[in-house]
Chain A
Amino acid sequence: MQNPYIPYPVVVDKIITEVDTKDIKTFRFKFANPEDEAKYKYISGQFGELSIYGKGESPIGIASSPTQKGYVEFTVQKAGVVTTALHEMEEGAVMGIRGPFGNSWPLEFLEGKNIVIVGGGFAFTTLRSLINYMIHGDNRKRFGKITVIYGARTPGLLLYKDELIEWQKRDDLNLNVTVDKGDATWKGREGFVPTVCKEVAPSAENAVVVICGPPVMIRFTLPVFFDLGFSKENIITSLEMRMKCGIGKCGRCNVGSKYVCKDGPVFSLAELDKLTPEY
Chain B
Amino acid sequence: MEKRIIKKDALAGIAKKMAGDFLVWAPVKKEDNILFEPLQKGVEPFFPFLNSKNAPKNVFFPHTETLMKYTRTEKGMVFSADENKASDSVLFGVRPCDAHSFALLDKLFDQEKYKDGYYIAKREKTTVISLACVKPPYASCFCTSVDGEPVSSDGADILLTDIGSDYLAEFITPKGEKLSKYFGDAKADAAAETKKNEIVAKAKAVITSKIPAHEVKPILDKNFDNPFWATIHGKCLACGTCTYLCPTCHCFDISDEVKASDGVRLRSWDSCMFPMFTKETSGHNPRQSQKERWRQRAMHKFKYYVDNFNAIACVGCGRCVMYCPVNIDIRKIVEDISKL
- Could you list which residues of chain A lie within 8 angstroms of chain B, going by C-beta atoms? 1, 3-7, 9, 53-57, 79-80, 83, 93-96, 240-242, 244-245, 247-257, 262, 276, 278-279
Q: A79–B277 contact, CB under 8 A?
A: no
Closest partner residue, chain B, to A95 (CB atom): B77
Q: A249–B256 contact, CB under 8 A?
A: no
CB B269 to nearest CB in A, in angstroms, measures: 10
Q: A245–B254 contact, CB under 8 A?
A: yes
Our pick among B67, B280, B296, B300 for the contact of A6 (Cβ within 8 Å) is B67
Q: B117–A1 contact, CB under 8 A?
A: yes
Closest partner residue, chain B, to A6 (CB atom): B68
Interface residues on B, range: 35 or more
Closest partner residue, chain B, to A257 (CB atom): B307
Q: B115–A53 contact, CB under 8 A?
A: no
- Of the listed residues B224, B286, B307, the one surrounded by the most CB atoms of chain A closer than 10 A to its CB is B286
B25 contacts the other chain (CB 8 A): no
Measured in the bound complex, the distance between the Cα atoms of B258 and A56 in whole Å is 11
Measured in the bound complex, the distance between the Cα atoms of B68 and A54 in whole Å is 12
Q: B114–A56 contact, CB under 8 A?
A: no
Q: Which residues of A contact B68 (CB under 8 A)?
A: 5-6
- Of the 9-residue stretches B78-86, B138-146, B233-241, which lies at the interface with chain A? B78-86
- Could you list which residues of chain B lie within 8 angstroms of chain A, going by C-beta atoms? 67-68, 70, 75-77, 79, 81-82, 84, 108-109, 111, 113-118, 224, 250-256, 258, 263, 265, 267, 270, 272, 277-282, 286-287, 292, 296, 299-300, 303-304, 307-308
Q: Which residues of A contact B308 (CB under 8 A)?
A: 257
Q: Which residues of A contact B109 (CB under 8 A)?
A: 249
Q: A251-B252, A278-B292 are in contact. Are A3 and B84 (CB under 8 A)?
A: yes
Q: Which residues of A contact B84 (CB under 8 A)?
A: 3
Closest partner residue, chain B, to A79 (CB atom): B281
CB B62 to nearest CB in A, in angstroms, measures: 14
Q: A245–B304 contact, CB under 8 A?
A: no
Sample (23) of A-B pairs whose CB atoms are under 8 Å apart: A4-B114, A9-B77, A53-B256, A53-B258, A54-B256, A54-B258, A55-B256, A79-B281, A79-B282, A83-B281, A241-B278, A242-B278, A242-B280, A244-B254, A245-B252, A247-B113, A248-B108, A249-B116, A250-B267, A252-B272, A252-B277, A255-B286, A278-B296
Q: B254–A250 contact, CB under 8 A?
A: yes
Measured in the bound complex, the distance between the Cα atoms of B61 and A249 in whole Å is 12
Q: Which residues of B contact A248 (CB under 8 A)?
A: 108, 111, 114
Q: Which residues of B contact A251 (CB under 8 A)?
A: 250-252, 270, 272, 300
CB B225 to nearest CB in A, in angstroms, measures: 9
CB A231 to nearest CB in B, in angstroms, measures: 24
Our pick among B79, B286, B296 for the contact of A96 (Cβ within 8 Å) is B79
Measured in the bound complex, the distance between the Cα atoms of B114 and A253 in whole Å is 16
CB B119 to nearest CB in A, in angstroms, measures: 9
Measured in the bound complex, the distance between the Cα atoms of B280 and A253 in whole Å is 11
Q: A56-B255, A251-B250 are in contact. Are A276 and B224 (CB under 8 A)?
A: yes
Measured in the bound complex, the distance between the Cα atoms of B90 and A193 in whole Å is 62
Q: Which residues of B contact A94 (CB under 8 A)?
A: 75-77
Q: B76–A6 contact, CB under 8 A?
A: no
Q: A6–B81 contact, CB under 8 A?
A: yes
Measured in the bound complex, the distance between the Cα atoms of B224 and A255 in whole Å is 12
CB A78 to nearest CB in B, in angstroms, measures: 10
Measured in the bound complex, the distance between the Cα atoms of B283 and A80 in whole Å is 11
Our pick among B108, B256, B267, B304 for the contact of A254 (Cβ within 8 Å) is B304
Q: B286–A279 contact, CB under 8 A?
A: yes
Measured in the bound complex, the distance between the Cα atoms of B258 and A9 in whole Å is 18
Measured in the bound complex, the distance between the Cα atoms of B81 and A133 in whole Å is 33
Q: Which residues of A contact B303 (CB under 8 A)?
A: 257
Measured in the bound complex, the distance between the Cα atoms of B265 and A271 in whole Å is 35
Q: Which residues of A contact B272 (CB under 8 A)?
A: 251-252
Q: A250-B254, A251-B251, A252-B270 are in contact. Are A53 and B77 (CB under 8 A)?
A: yes
